[in-house]
Structure 1
Amino acid sequence: MAETSAEVTRLIQRVALRDRSAFRQLYQRTSAKLFGVTLRILKDRAEAEEALQEVFVKIWQRADRFVPGGSSPISWLVAVARNHCLDILRARRPTSETIETALEIPDSSPDPEDRTMGRDERARIEACLGELASDRADAVRGAYLDGYSYEELANRHNVPINTMRTWLRRSLMRLRDCLTG
């Protein structure tokens, strides 16, 4: 195996010098293994065969980048094949959606009529809250808009928790009457 590794190293070095005979020998010794790599990654025989040819073009162009002793020559060749196949897979994926796709996404914001109705409704709610005592209106806003618990509101207004529950229940009943009347 060491002789084979040394032989492949020698062939890559000769390919770096543009030795066509060495390139042909390198292809004969390693193409089956590299084809297996391309086929395993791409999962399509025709595409793997084409990729193998492109891999050997890269090997011809980049043989001078191989550093003997850094890694095994087969590992270097496999890395070239693997990286080329991964580039092919990346190229398959669309980079982004088209602008037409974006135009098909519905607008979830309210239309002008809904905004006007919402504004009118908020104004009615605020007017009804204005009819409550200020501490009661503050408790309703705290509970239903700010998410405070009964206990937090009771502490904030210095009243027992049951009193806070009563305030909120009665305030909601008054708000309902105001909004429906």
Structure 2
Amino acid sequence: MTTKTGYCNGSDMLLYVGGKAVGHCTTHTATITSETKDRAVKPVATKGVSAGLWKNKGVVGLSVSISAEGLVFYQETESGYKSCLNMISKGQSVEVKCMERENADKPYLSGKFVIASLERTDAAQDDATYSISLENDGEVTFDETAITENPEPENQEA
């Protein structure tokens, strides 16, 4: 694997749907959301009146949504519009992975997802595009060690 430095290039990050990379993908976005619950409790008797204004938060659920856009390509060999159309028509969950290029065996996000929507746009005299939206179906696995980070520079004594 190549040593990476500087800013992460978005082209190095890949989205796999149904076992193949999203074909001719122009962008993808993964959003991790916490569902929270407010907890308002009466403060202990020794606290002032305003102490009861502050609420605690608790996480009661987690979810992941992923969206991607791509160009429709007639000779697609990856997960393009045609294969995504086939997957959504089955009404079943699909395997989804997010990973760095050249690190396909170690995704940083993976799990079963439902294809919530698939949209195709065919504008006159322009490239046909498609977009896909996915929502997790159960637990998602995260592996932050799968994201390249160069180690901290060693302390060098002067």
**TM-score bracket relative to the smaller structure:** under 0.3
Higher strand share: 2
The TM-score with structure 1 as length reference comes to 0.20
Task: Report the structure, 1 or 2, having the larger helix content.
Answer: 1
Structure label with greater radius of gyration: 1
Q: TM-score, normalised by structure 2?
A: 0.22
Query: Per chain length, whose mean CA-contact separation is higher, i.e. which structure has more relative contact order (CA < 8 Å, sep 6+)?
Result: 2
